[in-house]
Structure 1
């Protein structure tokens, strides 16, 4: 796939959480390769992202003044008052934390284009597009995973030696999080020292829990910040998690996962419900049998069949098509006064 020449367009990357950084950075790279203009609007918790000052807009007024031709959102919403094509690039895979009506397939009437990750989400979104008629859908793959396949990730640990590297990650949703339940078990497994552990928690997890996991770092483990999570996934042989979207991200590489009380366990997972089973489950994951390997490969193809590290380029090409054929952009989105007022209040923008 060749890189499209510069279009002279302005692109805005909209982030509301720190985890949006790894999702949108491949888009920044692809836009810069074209020679087009871009800015980041790092709103809320995303203000902590290490984005160069010259690439930032500080507030809604500056974002509007940038006059974007397209806005890429890694949140489930986007300021409706911005110009240009509103593009949903998603903040995670569909891991069935909630019903379709409340979760991954919920429509908020804000986006012109959905760039889906793979067949598992493309089909349902195309059915919704046919029903509602105000947005289009293109399957592009997920930009966040580009570095897993393009060889650009740095190493996150020099100390593992010959030991297998195991990654632990957990969601912040209290009823689904494995982190509080598995803490003592993981402490014992880390201290044993026969494996090297990379430990991470969702940025919204309670601070005392995060600090407890940070304290496990030492000669046999390292705590991984959100910004380094992709490098950790590339290095690990096995993931231990719960009902976090990191499960699907990891399986997209074709690698085994051990899940703890997953809300919707699938055949590609080794799901356990007792901390005492964790050690043996990891051993099984380190040597997956052919049946498990086949399930992992099947699921990976369904959620993200792209292994070329060029999903960000496909997102830009899909956006080009939407901008070149503006039928969707002219479609009237459903009006929701309450949501409009909420967004204006949250972003501090009241100009009409």
Structure 2
């Protein structure tokens, strides 16, 4: 009988994380369905299965439910698996793992599928401390396709601008004039993409107008692997998308990054952005070595087998640990608040 899995989906960034995993599940002859939280855009394709209600999930009775956010509904059936929505790069300027939200243990999950040494080492310490979950270093589901070959469509340099949403960190309001100026003065192509939680529509419309007015500018609602492949340099601030782009062996220019390092071309003045991009396009040898070292610290594998390792981790937990390790904390107040928010008491 086929195994069944559910993707717990809260935001648009979940789709490219889950789809490689969906492909691996189906290749094994197993089944998967999607549950979209209220407010999550429905970007499902024709051949993808959606479960509408919580009762649908209960009836579907999955072996495991995957979540790439911080929350999963504890009362649903199945092993609760965290597959993350980014890497622990300290985008808010965290100077220790203890203060990084990436490592917050809320008592929801049975399994954490870590990506590489930067996340595995500390999560293993937390596993020993708490004893109610297991940690498997699997690599990140989203990046299985990042190391495949592709063809560059244009010889004209392409800049991918991406920004976080966090107030005081996002560069979107600061760089809109600079980017507009560079669009008009340089021959570069541009792809513009924004975090789904960035909700300043007036600001976003200014960037959309650039795409409407200039054929060399593309506004991308949800960043795709194609956008990484067809771009030569990323311009960003402080987001784990930086690391995703670096996996393509490409340089990143950042504006006031919260954790700058030698793997970045970081600037603190808008007047320096143009020169930094020019430098990045030359791909300095030492910079590219530092980029590669940084990537390997965060993402352990390059073999395209991360999704297989995630599914193997679920099987291993189901066989050896389910019901045999310490029970998760009661979290009665947290669970009450969740049920009260959902108005679900079954």
- Band of TM-score, shorter chain: over 0.9
- Cα distance, 1:337 vs. partner? 1.5
**CA deviations over 1:143-176 (Å, ceiling 9, x no partner):** 111222245x898xx6xx4211110000111210
Question: Within 5 Å, which residues of 2 pair with 1:111-260?
Answer: 111-150=109-148, 161-205=154-198, 206-217=200-211, 218-226=214-222, 228-260=223-255
2:39 counterpart (38, 45, 60): 45
How far apart in 2 are the matches of 1:162 and 1:47? Answer: 35
- Cα distance, 1:317 vs. partner? 1.1
Whether contact under 8 Å (1:68, 1:82) holds in the other structure is no
Question: Within 5 Å, which residues of 2 pair with 1:260-275?
Answer: 260-275=255-270
1:34 counterpart (28, 49, 57): 28
How far apart in 2 are the matches of 1:59 and 1:298? Answer: 44
- Cα distance, 1:209 vs. partner? 1.5
- Cα distance, 1:329 vs. partner? 6.1
SS in 1 for 2:27: helix
Kindly report the root-mean-square deviation, in angstroms, between the aligned alpha carbons of the 2 structures: 1.9
2:12 match: 18
Q: 1:186 to 1:54 in 2, by over 3 A?
A: closer
**CA deviations over 1:233-258 (Å, ceiling 9, x no partner):** 12211110001121111122221100
2:292 counterpart (290, 297, 304): 297
How far apart in 1 are the matches of 2:46 and 2:74? Answer: 25
How far apart in 1 are the matches of 2:48 and 2:145? Answer: 24
**CA deviations over 1:183-237 (Å, ceiling 9, x no partner):** 00000111124111111111121111211111111222111121x4322012211
Unaligned 5+ segments in structure 2 are: none
Whether contact under 8 Å (1:322, 1:328) holds in the other structure is no
1:309 match: 304
* Residue range with higher mean Cα deviation, 319-328 or 87-96: 319-328
How far apart in 1 are the matches of 2:22 and 2:326? Answer: 28
- Cα distance, 1:101 vs. partner? 3.3
SS in 2 for 1:169: strand
- Cα distance, 1:327 vs. partner? 4.6
- Cα distance, 1:54 vs. partner? 6.2
Whether contact under 8 Å (2:131, 2:325) holds in the other structure is no
- Cα distance, 1:141 vs. partner? 0.9
TM-score (norm 1): 0.91
- Cα distance, 1:49 vs. partner? 2.3
- Do structure 1's residue 318 and structure 2's residue 313 form an aligned pair? yes
Whether contact under 8 Å (1:252, 1:303) holds in the other structure is no
